[in-house]
Amino acid sequence: MASPDFAGLRCQVIDGCLVLTPAPPPEHRRIRDRLRELLTAALPATARAIAPVVVLLPDGDRPASDLAVCDAAGVVVPARRVHTVVDVVAPRTRRFTRGRKRDLYAEAGIPCFWRIEPEAWPGYDGPLPVIAVRVRERGRWRELVVPAGRERDVPVVVGRSPGRAEVVTVRFDPAVLTADGSAVTVAPWRSVSPPSSPAHSRRSVT
């Protein structure tokens, strides 16, 4: 499998079956491309943002996502080389993105998952778009919601070693992902260190 998007369809292998869904609409792709531009400018040299991407899971499944932060090149990237996965939620695949895909990546050991919500969902009526982040820290999943409206620090996993993940934050307003004609601006990435260890350049979490 090369690009996951072909002839108006997105192609994925899930639970051993070929799954075809409508390819992302233009608005969806614009969000993805703005985020890739933002991350490319902000991430440390050890990480790169690839979009779109096919993640090769240990069992052979190949879910497709809009963007991944990893330490490898190419459209198809083994899960062990992927540190953060990003999906923009589309109306026809929202349940799959919010549930099954999130779980597949967690089971494969990928420690960070971003879900970008361009539209409101039941129980949320705040500013849009929203970035819902799920990151594994110290053996537990932490979840946070980052709405548009002001610049915020958003955690990104940018490296992995056995049992550990390296987290940095990227500071930006999610509104830049959908604002028509707005230039993408972002503060330089900054590392996150435990309060007791200010000399650390990054936060390593397990």
What is the pLDDT at residue 99? 86
pLDDT tier at 2, thresholds 50, 70, 90: low
Has residue 7 got a pLDDT over 80? no
Give me the mean pLDDT over the 137-153 stretch: 91
Report if residue 186 sits inside a domain: yes
Report if residue 11 sits inside a domain: no
Q: From CA 5, how far away is CA 65, in angstroms rounded?
A: 10
* Among 22, 28, 20, 19, residue whose Cα is nearest residue 8: 22
Read off the pTM: 0.83
Number of domains comprising the chain: 1
- pLDDT tens-digit series, residues 38-61: 999 888 888 999 999 999 999 999
CATH number at residue 144: 3.90.1570.10
Q: From CA 153, how far away is CA 79, in angstroms rounded?
A: 25
Which residues are within 8 A (CB) of 184 and not within 5 positions of it... i.e. 6 or more apart? 34, 37, 38, 41, 176
Report if residue 46 sits inside a domain: yes
Parent domain of 138 = 25-205
pLDDT tier at 201, thresholds 50, 70, 90: very low
Report if residue 14 sits inside a domain: no
**Do 189 and 42 touch, CB atoms closer than 8 A?**
yes
- pLDDT tens-digit series, residues 157-184: 998 776 667 888 999 999 999 876 444 4
Which residues are within 8 A (CB) of 75 and not within 5 positions of it... i.e. 6 or more apart? 1, 2, 3, 4, 50, 52, 53, 54
